[in-house]
Structure 1
Amino acid sequence: MIWHLVALAAAGLGAAGIGFLLRAASGRKLPKWIVPVFAGMGMLTYQIYYEYYWFEHKQSQLPASSVVVATEQQQAIWRPWTYLLPMTVGFSVVDRSNLAEVQLDDNQIKRFILYRFQKEYVDLVSHQPHLLNCDTQELVPEADDGSLRPELMRKLDSDDPLYLAVCR
């Protein structure tokens, strides 16, 4: 977070320097307010870049065996550009190297951990173990104590990215 603030200040100072050089090159014909306007535009540009690059940056830090199975995009009124290009603010990942296979009554069952990354002022990461019956496409989360939570069971479609990442 501190490096983000340092980069934001550097972008503002760099853009203000460009505004100052333009004003000096014009023989001071450009108005004085051009310098703070350039500083603000530089900081805004960096912030927009950072917000859109967050998903790619986090994805690059994941192991090669990880598969993104869901993304969440968001629009916000205080970020009007997100109505044109929605911003990714969360995603779910399965690490295929940690899949465990269990045969039970001729059903192929896979145990895996679903990781959830959420973009907040501090990035949040949560994880929850799940069982997926690859034959019936039923997904059941596990509780913290390792017991199953059948009341939260849901059936996945055959083209669901989570089903394809775990069972194929």
Structure 2
Amino acid sequence: MIWHLIAAVFAGLGAAGVGLILRMASGKRLPRWIVPVCGGLGMLGYQIYNEYAWFDHKQQQLPETAEVVSVEEGHMFWRPWTFAFPMTTAFTIVDQDGLAVRRTDEGRLVEFILYRFEKEYVDQVSHQAWLMNCATREILPLEGETRTPRTDEMRRIDESAPLYRAICKEA
């Protein structure tokens, strides 16, 4: 976080320098307030860039075997530009290396972990173990170290769901 603050300050200083050069090049016909306005716009521009680049930056940090299965975009009233250009606020991945496949009479069962990344003041990462029956498309969470199935939360997902395609594409 400190590096983003330092980068925002330097972006503001650089933009203020551009404002100062423009003022000097105009023979001081531009008003003096152009320098701090350019500095503020430079800092705001860096912050907007940083917020929109968060998803791509996080994806680059993931291993090659990680597959994004859902992306959430959001609007915030204090960031009015997000109403025109929604910003990615969270995404969920599954790591293909972490799949535990078992064949049973009921079909192919795949145990996997879903990782959820949320953009907040400090990035939040949570994970949850799941079990999916590829034949019936039923999915349920596994609880605790023993990975006890929580059958009361079982649900069925669609064949076109990115999670189903990522987990059961070999079925």
C-alpha separation in 1, matches of 2:132 and 2:41: 49
TM-score, with length taken from structure 2? 0.96
Is 1:129 aligned to 2:123, yes or no? no
Whichever residue aligns with residue 42 of structure 1, its letter is: G
C-alpha separation in 2, matches of 1:162 and 1:106: 20
C-alpha separation in 2, matches of 1:76 and 1:88: 11
C-alpha separation in 2, matches of 1:71 and 1:41: 29
Structural mapping, 1:141-156, within 5 Å: 141-145=141-145, 146-156=147-157
Task: Tell me the equivalent position of 1:161.
Answer: 162
In angstroms, what is the RMSD of aligned CA positions?
0.8
SS in structure 1 of the partner of residue 14 of structure 2: helix
C-alpha separation in 2, matches of 1:141 and 1:106: 18
Structural mapping, 1:60-99, within 5 Å: 60-99=60-99
State the 1:41 CA deviation: 0.4
State the 1:106 CA deviation: 3.6
Q: Deviations over 1:7-27 (max 9, x none)?
A: 111110100010011111111
TM-score, with length taken from structure 1? 0.98
Task: Tell me the equivalent position of 1:10.
Answer: 10
- The gaps in structure 1 that reach 5 residues or longer are none
C-alpha separation in 1, matches of 2:43 and 2:154: 46
State the 1:147 CA deviation: 0.8
C-alpha separation in 2, matches of 1:50 and 1:165: 29
C-alpha separation in 1, matches of 2:153 and 2:46: 41
Task: Tell me the equivalent position of 1:111.
Answer: 111
Q: Deviations over 1:29-87 (max 9, x none)?
A: 11010001000100111111011100000001111111100011001111111111100
Q: Is 2:92–2:117's contact at 8 Å kept on the other side of the alignment? A: yes
Whichever residue aligns with residue 120 of structure 2, its letter is: E
C-alpha separation in 2, matches of 1:153 and 1:44: 45
Task: Tell me the equivalent position of 2:20.
Answer: 20
Query: Following TM superposition, where does structure 1 have runs of at least 4 consecutive aligned residues deviating by more than 6 angstroms?
Result: none
C-alpha separation in 2, matches of 1:152 and 1:8: 45
State the 1:105 CA deviation: 2.3
Task: Tell me the equivalent position of 1:57.
Answer: 57
C-alpha separation in 2, matches of 1:128 and 1:134: 18
- The gaps in structure 2 that reach 5 residues or longer are none
